[in-house]
Amino acid sequence: MKKLLKFIKGYKKESVLGPLFKLLEAALELIVPLVIAALIDKGIGSSDHGYIVRSCLILVALGAIGLAFSVTAQYFAAKASCGFSAAMRSSLFSHIGTLSYTELDTIGSSTLITRITADSNQVQTGINLTLRLLLRSPFVVFGAMIMAFTVDVQSAITFAVVIPVLSIVVFGIMLITMPLYKKVSRGVDSILSKTRENLDGARVIRAFCKEDEEISEFRERNDALTAMQKFVGKISSLMNPLTYIIINLAIIALIYSGAIRVELGELTQGEVVALYNYMSQILVELIKLANLIITITKSAAAANRISAVFETESSMKYGDEKFTGLKDGISFNDVSLCYKNAAETSLSDISFEAKRGETIGVIGGTGSGKTSLINLIPRFYDATKGEITVDGKPISSFDKESIRSRIGVVPQKAALFEGSIRENMLWGKADATDEEINRALAIAQADKVVMDKGGLDAHIEEGGRNLSGGQRQRLTIARALVRNPDILILDDSASALDYATDAALRSAIAESTKESLVFIVSQRASSVMHADKIIVLDDGKAIGIGTHGELLAACPLYKEIYDTQFGEVV
Amino acid sequence: MKKNSSLGRALKFIGRYKLLMAISAFFAIGIVALTLIVPILIGDSIDLIIGKDNVDIGKIVKLLITAGAVVLLTSVLQWLMSAINNKITYNVVRDMRNAAFQKLERVPISYIDTNAKGDIVSRIISDVDIFADGLLLGFTQLFTGVLTIIGTLVFMLIIDWKIALVVVILTPLSLFIAKFIGTRTHSMFAERQKTNGEATAHINESLSEQKVIIAFSHEDESQKKYDEINDRLKSSSLKAIFFSSLVNPTTRFVNNVVYAAVALAGAFTAVATAGAATPFTVGTLTCLLSYTNQYTKPFNEISGVLTEFQNALAAASRMFELIDKEPEIADSESALDIGEAKGEVTLSDVSFSYTKDKKLIEDLSLNVRDGQRIAIVGPTGCGKTTVINLLMRFYDVDKGSISVDGCDIRSMTRRSLRKNYGMVLQETWLSAGTVRENIAMGKPNATDEEIIAAAKASHAHGFIKRLKDGYDTVIGEGGGSLSLGQKQLICIARIMLSLPPMLILDEATSSIDTRTEIKIQEAFRTMMKGRTSFIVAHRLSTIKNADVILVMKDGKIIEQGNHSELLKRGGFYSELYNSQFAKI
């Protein structure tokens, strides 16, 4: 949590002045009972109209000054909390930008999104309330007690007893119910996941005629949740009656002891009223404090989660040699990759050479390590064993920007971003001309897509959801081609295309990338069979490297894949 | 749906707890009355504390004992009332969720297909909560609030009508101010909401595709865009938070002014009536001051409650939209249980579309004899699942008819129709439970031997044995840690166990490793022996061996025939077929 404190630094003045003005306001509130006491004893007691009017004007003035103080405090608190959270979010966003694939895998993008949205908001609310109330409520509670002592020490002892008792009740109930509420939210989760499951599996459930069983299972979980809610409800609804009893019994005790003291002439009627008023102030503030503590606990938890992201550092270090273009090729020497927290290696002892101008096919089943293999080339991950060299130099000796900008990657999942088609194409090359873009679109068989959508300025919605899967794939391929990369990587990126388009695409790419090194990853034998070199992966091992003809003869798995896709009934 | 009618519908759910509601209301009245008596008793006691040697301790003790008794009684009633209110609230919530979930199991599949899942989930979960918070808790708050206002007003009028008038006239001021600030800040909140939406959209997009951003070194551009939105968010939040936080201090100020006014009027009256037969005493003043505090408080709460009310009604109407959804047309009284079918399927002149303006299947006729294989082919997303939807009667045909063994599927029970189909889809679905329970889904009374035999026949036995607890391994929701291929093998075992006369199979395209895939194909082959099978096919070998190939494109069936017929025709199918072998 300490890491986050630096974001409040720019708001030191606000963070001090906010609580200060709140305290001033609270102090004014504590004066009110004294004014009323004087009003009763002096004003009414001696029928002094002038004194009464003055007292009431003082009350109004106290209110007005209190209003001004409070508004000032709210302003400082709002400014500090909004400023804090904006600075924190911006820094968090940029920190996430520095993380590598390994960290992104470990944390997960949905978690990161929650951190920067919901958690940040929670922290902002927590800071705002803390600045406003954390000092104020205890101040009023103890202030009321101290004021009571100044009025009459003997009567004030009631306060010294009541405050701890009330605190025990208020905070005790809060402490007991907090974990119970967590249980309730787990109960809600359980009916939520049942609902989700039934939406995802609607067809299967109906195909097996399981509707009634699902309903009764839902009811069971729902009943359990309801029982839990009622139980917590019973405990937390003790709060009001208990505090009501304590405060009123205390008032009764106060008046009884006050009566005796007045009889003895040691106290006045007005002072008894003042003590009564102080007692009433305590309860409201204690309840506010209890609620505040709940909010602060939640915010602190959120702050800790955010800190954890800040503490995650990128595990990838870059050299500073500029990469000026692929001259010779890439070679893998006994490369193994074991993902963080994974029990087994995803790639083991892979060695091959890939020369400029070649097309390399990578084939294998899911989980065989195809994507892992090609992810090593743009250095999304680092090999955990062995070495990858580019033009004879270790890949880690190159500067990040210069090598990435020479590689065009088309990931498996075709992701586009909100904006125009042109903006999306410029991702590949920031200063690309329309000719360059159109050329890339033509190779990717995407020119028709652009035409259908209404040209390069056509709008693409968030995630490209106004496009079909095939249209998205073609545009992502074009995006990678815009930069005219030295190394082009197609990771199973034509799966949504029909066979005819797929074939046209492959021949256009082959035509235009004669000078480049192309990696094609696929599950379809038809996509890789014409490559210069095919790497057959199974369970992270290269069990065959060679041309289509060589592999058919020498690699049983390759033949098996080929036969299941092309062969007659096996 | 109209808000009024959703209120009416909500009342029906609450109506079941009429008696409890009545008791709760009765208690509320009691509590308010008792709470109002306490300040009078306290005030009376204070009046007896006049000065040195002028205190009637005996009377005070009596008054205080009465006050103590009233306080105790109030607390007990308070506790009972909240217990009752909790019971009503949580029971209503439970009933509504049960009703909503039950409806979910009965609505036509089209409802689930056409509505976002998150949206449906939120209707059942969060909308019900919003409703409960807003309407039920809000209602009790409103009820006691109004009672308190009325009660305090009556008591104040009895004690001193002139001072009561001061309170009545001044208090609404705080309401006006709250409303004034509320309408002014509304647009600020809207602005903040909008900016927040923009920020969230950008975050969502960038973070879920962070890997692409890294691949294209686009971090700086993305940061620049975020900072720009974030800055706007900061200033709009500041405005919204600050201005809305003015409500509290200003209403408090108004209350303070009212308080001062009562003190002024009270003190003057006290001075004027000193020595009169019914003097306005200091005790009366304290009592009035404490009423003033009680009277103004509910006003501040009520304006909050009213907004929550609006939200609650909106949430309720969203939820009732689901609860009131038309269920699937029920099976008719005379619907047949066809028992075990032979497996002849006839589609005659079937037309179907999901939406009226987009025609999909038109005049499709197809005769499938028992034991035949039908391959459905076409590019991804061409609507192959539509055919499955019609066969399983997840959707009804618009025109024409589908019959099994010569009997229209609309004249048999859905249950008996669906029991005759075994379905293995690519999107495998396992329920949270053990492997055994999942396999036995179609035949809950299956013996262990039958289950293991089915698993062996579908080549799932091997990997199941290697799982931590074998057949008793609990798989999490959606299949948890199993690989896609393993999940599909369990789904096949599930069908293998009951082995219905007709099959609907979906060949995997990409998600399964080669070895498992070969096993799956073998399992498919075993299953299909002698059974009518509809296969969404991707593999040439499957397609070539099919008795009939349905070629689909853009949701329509454009060609129909066997492999050699279709090749001869030289249409879309032959183009597809040839492109498989095209050289790059």
Which strand (E) or helix (H) includes residue A476? helix A469-482
Among partner residues A203, A404, A495, which is closest to B109 by beta-carbon distance? A203
pLDDT digits (tens, 9 = 90+) for B6-59: 778 888 888 899 999 899 999 999 999 998 898 889 888 988 888 888 888 889
Pairwise CB contact (< 8 Å): B54 & A263 = yes
Instruction: Compute the CA torsion angle B427, B428, B433, B435 (nearest 10 deg).
Output: -160
A273 touches chain B (CB under 8 A): yes
End-to-end CA distance of chain A: 63
DSSP conformational letter for A384: S
Cβ–Cβ under 8 Å, residues A115 and A306? yes
pLDDT at res. A340? 78
pLDDT at res. B514? 61
Cβ–Cβ under 8 Å, residues B245 and B267? no
Sequence-distant contacts of B413-416: CB under 8 A, at least 24 apart: B413/B331, B413/B335, B413/B336, B413/B337, B414/A206, B414/A209, B414/B328, B414/B331, B415/A209, B415/B331, B415/B337, B416/B336, B416/B337, B416/B338, B416/B339
Cβ–Cβ under 8 Å, residues A241 and B76? yes
Pairwise CB contact (< 8 Å): A78 & B238 = yes
Identify the CA nearest to B506 among candidates B574, B422, B581: B422
Q: Does the predicted interface ipTM exceed a cut of 0.85? A: no
Helices (H), B324-447: 384-391, 414-419, 435-439
Domains of chain A, start order: 1-139+297-315 (1.20.1560.10), 318-406+486-570 (3.40.50.300), 413-484 (3.40.50.300)
Q: How far is B71 from chain A (nearest CA, A)?
A: 6
**pLDDT at residue B480 is higher than 60:** no
End-to-end CA distance of chain B: 58
Q: Kindly report the number of other CB atoms within 10 A of residue B224's CB atom.
A: 9
Pairwise CB contact (< 8 Å): B87 & A566 = no
Output the CA angle B471-B475-B479, nearest 5 degrees. 120
Output the CA angle B55-B61-B67, nearest 5 degrees. 120
pLDDT digits (tens, 9 = 90+) for B101-111: 999 988 888 88
Residues 76-115 of A with CB under 8 A from B: 78-79, 81-83, 85-86, 89-90, 93-94, 96-101, 104, 109-110, 112-113
pLDDT at res. B307? 75
Q: Name B382's Cβ contacts closer than 8 Å, sequence gap at least 6.
A: B552, B553, B554, B555
A201 touches chain B (CB under 8 A): yes
Q: What is the mean pLDDT of each run of 10 residues along chain A (570 residues)?
A: 84 93 92 90 87 93 94 94 94 90 82 88 92 89 91 89 90 89 88 86 83 91 94 88 92 91 88 88 82 86 92 86 89 90 80 93 81 90 92 90 88 84 88 91 90 88 79 91 91 76 86 90 83 90 92 88 62
pLDDT digits (tens, 9 = 90+) for B346-355: 999 888 888 7
Cβ–Cβ under 8 Å, residues B13 and B96? yes
User: Which residues of chain A lie closer than 8 angstroms to B290, CB-CB?
Assistant: 280
Q: Name B459's Cβ contacts closer than 8 Å, sequence gap at least 6.
A: B489, B519, B520, B522, B523
pLDDT digits (tens, 9 = 90+) for B405-455: 989 999 988 888 988 998 887 677 787 788 898 898 888 888 999 999 999
Q: Which amino acid is at B380?
A: T
pLDDT at res. B513? 61
Q: CA B74 → CA A24, A367, A550, B81, distances in Å?
A: 36, 68, 92, 10
pLDDT digits (tens, 9 = 90+) for B306-345: 777 778 888 888 888 888 888 887 787 788 888 888 889 9
Under 8 Å CB pairs connecting chains A and B tally to 427
Pairwise CB contact (< 8 Å): A86 & B230 = yes
**pLDDT at residue B583 is higher than 50:** no
User: Most B CBs within 10 Å: which of A98, A119, A140, A199, as the mutation test of the B interface?
Assistant: A199
Cβ–Cβ under 8 Å, residues A544 and A555? yes
pLDDT digits (tens, 9 = 90+) for A393-451: 999 999 888 888 889 989 887 788 888 999 999 888 888 899 999 999 999 999 888 88
Pairwise CB contact (< 8 Å): B418 & A208 = yes
**What residue ranges of chain B are covered by domains with CATH 1.20.1560.10?**
1-160+301-328
Cα separation, A435 vs B510, in Å, equals: 35
Q: CA B292 → CA A140, A485, B367, distances in Å?
A: 21, 78, 85
Among all residues of chain B, which has the CA nearest to that of A531? B584
Among partner residues A404, A496, A564, which is closest to B539 by beta-carbon distance? A564
pTM of this prediction?
Answer: 0.73
Cα separation, B480 vs B490, in Å, equals: 13
pLDDT at res. B1? 45
Q: Name A18's Cβ contacts closer than 8 Å, sequence gap at least 6.
A: A73, A76, A77, A80, A131, A132
Class of the domain covering B1-160+301-328: mainly alpha
**pLDDT at residue B560 is higher than 60:** yes
Which strand (E) or helix (H) includes residue A193? helix A153-200
Pairwise CB contact (< 8 Å): A56 & B582 = no
Cβ–Cβ under 8 Å, residues B202 and B301? no
Residue recorded with tokens 């009169």: B276
A190 touches chain B (CB under 8 A): no
Structure tokens at A112: 């990161």
Cα separation, A19 vs A14, in Å, equals: 9
A431 touches chain B (CB under 8 A): no
pLDDT at res. A442? 93
pLDDT at res. B138? 78
Q: How far is B6 from chain A (nearest CA, A)?
A: 23
Q: Which amino acid is at B568?
A: K
